[in-house]
Amino acid sequence: MERAQETTRNTNPIIEVQGVTKRYANHLAIDEVSFSVSRGTIFGLLGPNGAGKTTLIRMINQITAPDNGTIFFDGRPIQKDDVERIGYLPEERGLYKKMKVGEQALYLAQLKGVSKQIALERLVYWFRKFEIVGWWDKKVEELSKGMQQKVQFITTIIHQPDFLILDEPFSGFDPINTNIIKTEILRLKEEGTTIILSTHNMESVEEICDDIVLINKSKKVLEGNLHDIKQQFKEHLFEVTIDTGEELLSNLKDNDLFTLKESRLSPLGLTLKFQMNEGVNGNTLLNTLIPLGTIVSFEEILPSMNSIFIKQVNATK
Digit-coded pLDDT (tens) for 231-286: 999 999 999 999 887 777 877 876 788 988 998 888 888 999 999 998 888 899 89
Report yes or no: 191 and 5 within 8 Å, Cβ to Cβ: yes
Q: What is the pLDDT of residue 9?
A: 45
Q: What is the pLDDT of residue 46?
A: 96
Q: Positive or negative CA dihedral for 102, 165, 92, 226?
A: positive
Task: Beginning with the edge strand found earlier in the chain, give each strand of the sheet holding 27-38 in spatial order.
Answer: 27-38, 13-24, 68-73, 76-77
Which DSSP symbol is given to 12?
S
For the stretch 10-49, pLDDT in tens is 568 999 999 999 999 889 999 999 999 999 999 999 999 9
The average pLDDT across 284-298 equals 90
DSSP for 213-276 reads EEEETTEEEEEEEHHHHHHHT---EEEEEEES-GGGGGG----SSEEEEEEEEETTEEEEEEEE
SS (H, E, C) 58-76: HHHCCCCCCCEEEEEECCE
Alpha carbons 39 and 192: distance in angstroms, whole number? 8
Tell me the residue type at 66.
Answer: P
For the stretch 203-242, pLDDT in tens is 999 999 999 999 999 999 999 999 999 999 999 999 999 9
Report yes or no: 264 and 235 within 8 Å, Cβ to Cβ: no
Alpha carbons 19 and 231: distance in angstroms, whole number? 27
pLDDT-based confidence at 71, cuts 50/70/90? very high
Q: Which domains does the chain have, with CATH numbers?
A: 13-231 (3.40.50.300), 235-301 (3.30.70)
Partnered with residue 211 across adjacent β-strands are: 43, 225
Report yes or no: 70 and 20 within 8 Å, Cβ to Cβ: yes
The average pLDDT across 151-176 equals 92
pLDDT-based confidence at 119, cuts 50/70/90? very high
pLDDT-based confidence at 122, cuts 50/70/90? very high
- The answer to whether residue 312 scores a pLDDT higher than 80 is yes
The average pLDDT across 300-311 equals 94
Q: What is the pLDDT of residue 11?
A: 62
pLDDT-based confidence at 3, cuts 50/70/90? very low
Alpha carbons 211 and 139: distance in angstroms, whole number? 39
Say which residues have a Cβ less than 8 Å from residue 237's Cβ, sequence separation at least 6.
261, 273, 274, 275, 276, 300, 301
pTM: 0.88
Alpha carbons 165 and 25: distance in angstroms, whole number? 27
Report yes or no: 194 and 10 within 8 Å, Cβ to Cβ: no
Tell me the residue type at 161.
Answer: P
Q: What is the pLDDT of residue 6?
A: 38
**Average pLDDT of the chain?**
90
The average pLDDT across 43-59 equals 94
The average pLDDT across 45-64 equals 93
Per-residue burial over 125-144, b = 16 or more CB atoms within 10 Å of its CB, e = otherwise: ebbeebebeebeeeebeebe
